[in-house]
Amino acid sequence: MREIEAKKVYIFSPGLRIWHWVNFLTIITLFITGLYIGNPFFLGPVGVEATYAYKEGITMDFIRKIHFIAGYVLLASFIFRVIISLFNKRDRLLFPAIWRRDYWMGLKEITLKYIFVMKEGEGQEYVRNACARTVYPLVYLAIFVMIATGFAMYGMSSPGSFWSSLLGWILGFLGGEFMVHMWHHWLAWLIIVFAVLHVYLVIREEALKKNGELSSMFSGYKVFEKEPVDLKDVE
């Protein structure tokens, strides 16, 4: 049997883990209710003729309310995420270290590993791989734009309200109400495409390396065969 000296590294703070799962649940809720808002007929035979909808409970009013409540939760958790990153070094792990050689080396290695040209276990180990470091900031940006466009549309139903005064300019900036809807719609799909690939890559890593990748967002720990080259980013 091969002897290895495994190293257990604490990576994700409790705040980050709580944010991750709250974020996941709200985005799924927002996506499903959002699709219904965009096209109420996607529920097929469950769709009820408008006159009788109130009696049945599944009304556009109700679905929109769920969307807005989840929107407020997403906003609160995003603010929470920004605040915790000010205090904890680990919570700033997501930025790509483009000025460092190990980032570029890592990007090459992870690409070769993802297309199964290079074997897992070869090359360097990373606490957070370069591909993840490149994509996560874009995911945060996409969530931020969803919040901004979402609350800009929300403000439209009550002109003069807090949200319409704060974010009303977004309507003009993106070329009108229709375009704000479109951006909100396209980015919703982009986030879901990310989520599907993200889950695949997490499960792939767990299956090939059995390093606690899948459970790391619950426990906070991952296990490494070699010392990760970017260890100083979390310790």
Pick from 7, 15, 18, 20: which binds ligand HEM (CB under 6 A)?
20
CB nearer to ligand HEM: pick between 2 and 69? 69
Applying CB under 6 A, does 204 fall inside the site for ligand HEM?
no
Output 25 or 105, the one with its CB closest to ligand HEM: 25
User: Judging by beta carbons within 10 Å of its beta carbon (0-12, 13-18, 19+), is residue 155 exposed, middle or buried?
Assistant: buried
Residue 9 binds ligand HEM, judged by CB under 6 A = no
Return the closest-CA partner of residue 147 out of 70, 49, 216.
70
Q: Which region among 16-24, 45-53, 108-116, 165-173 touches ligand HEM (by CB under 6 A)?
A: 16-24
Q: Which of 202, 208, 223, 231 binds ligand HEM (CB under 6 A)?
A: 202
Which residue of 9, 132, 167, 229 would you call a contact of ligand HEM, by CB under 6 A? 132
- Which residue's CB is nearer to ligand HEM, number 103 or number 154? 154
CA distance 19 to 24: 8
d(CA 235, CA 68): 39
Per-residue HEC secondary structure of 143-182 comes to HHHHHHHHHHHHHHCCCCCHHHHHHCHHHHHCCCHHHHHH
> Any residues with CB less than 8 A from the CB of 26 and at least 6 apart, and which?
70, 73, 74, 77
Please give the Cα distance from 58 to 67 (Å, whole number): 13
Q: What is the total count of residues that contact ligand HEM (CB under 6 A)?
A: 42
Pick from 113, 170, 174, 184: which binds ligand HEM (CB under 6 A)? 184
27 vs 174 by CB, closer to ligand HEM: 27
Distance between CA atoms of 161 and 209, rounded to whole angstroms?
52
Binding site for ligand HEM (CB under 6 A): 20, 23-24, 27, 30-31, 34-35, 37-38, 64, 67-68, 71, 74-75, 93-94, 128, 132, 136, 139, 143, 146-147, 150-151, 153-154, 181, 184-185, 188, 191, 195, 198-199, 202, 213-214, 216-217
